[in-house]
Amino acid sequence: MSLLEAYSNYLKVEKCDSVHTQRAYLQTVSCWLLHLEQTEANYDHDDLSLTAISNFLSDRAEQGQSRASLARAIAALKHFFHYLQERHSQRTSQLMGIEVPKVYRSMPRVLSLNEMEGLLESINANDFSSVRDRAILELFYSTGMRVSEMANLKPQDLDLPQMQLKVKGKGKKERLVFLGQAALAALQAYLNLRPALLIAGVESLFLNRRGGALTTRGIFNLVQARALAQDLHEITPHTFRHTFATHLLDHGADLRFVQTLLGHENLSTTQIYTKVSLGRMTEVYREAHPRARFKNSMS
């Protein structure tokens, strides 16, 4: 078994990383190993210097890769070097010291309450696609789940009497999320129609119009189509996740509570939503504080 194959098994079996993460890490590591074969004669990871990885990153930069792409490449290589240390007793501590370039994150797109309500209420037909799409959008807004988590839902994950459901997130970690009344009603309406289309053997909660499992791409497409119908542009399933978190914080939810619902390991990941909510916080302050606004003293 090659080193790359062994690392692939490690990601899949032991780390339980998502398919997307596995693909990204393996692509970077494959390019790294190829680079070493072409530039470093008889290389040994124990003897590599920072110059080797700097040359690798310089080549990628010259190919037009962005700062964000380089940051992701460094993260993938650090993960690989950690694997070499852990499983192959190789000394890669010098390579572990390389710094990740600063990436300036743009603020996520967030729908206003009126935009969100308008989008949800616009889906009011009784055909299968409309009922299903309404349930999916209500569920996104009610739970803040990721599109991959939505695609992987199964009927047994639902606990409708308790108005909650079980979500399997990154690294196959499970968490509970909650259903609001609107999401519960939309989901029950969908469940009433689901058996008529279901193909035997399909376990997914959400189905396409042929009765098969609805994929992440299918969910992405229906979200965009429903949003564009309301003249809302650049809307993705992740927009609902951003909006879910921001609206909770706007209405007084604790940051750590939101962190738990989103399934974030680190609080710093959740803190971006405090920046998004700053405008709302400023508005509340101006309205609520007795001396926050200038008074007209002119007579």
Phi, psi dihedrals of residue 110, rounded to the nearest 5°: -130, 130
Q: How far apart are CA 159 and CA 141, in angstroms?
A: 18
- Alpha-carbon dihedral 170, 173, 179, 183, rounded to 10 degrees: 40
Q: Cβ distance 193 to 131 under 8 Å? A: yes
Amino acid residing at 184: L
Q: What is the token pair recorded at 255?
A: 């940051």
Q: Cβ distance 244 to 144 under 8 Å? A: yes
Sign of CA dihedral 66, 67, 69, 74: positive
Query: Mind telling me the catalytic residues?
Result: 146, 170, 238, 241, 264, 273
CB atoms within 10 A of CB 93: 9
Q: How far apart are CA 211 and CA 209, in angstroms?
A: 6
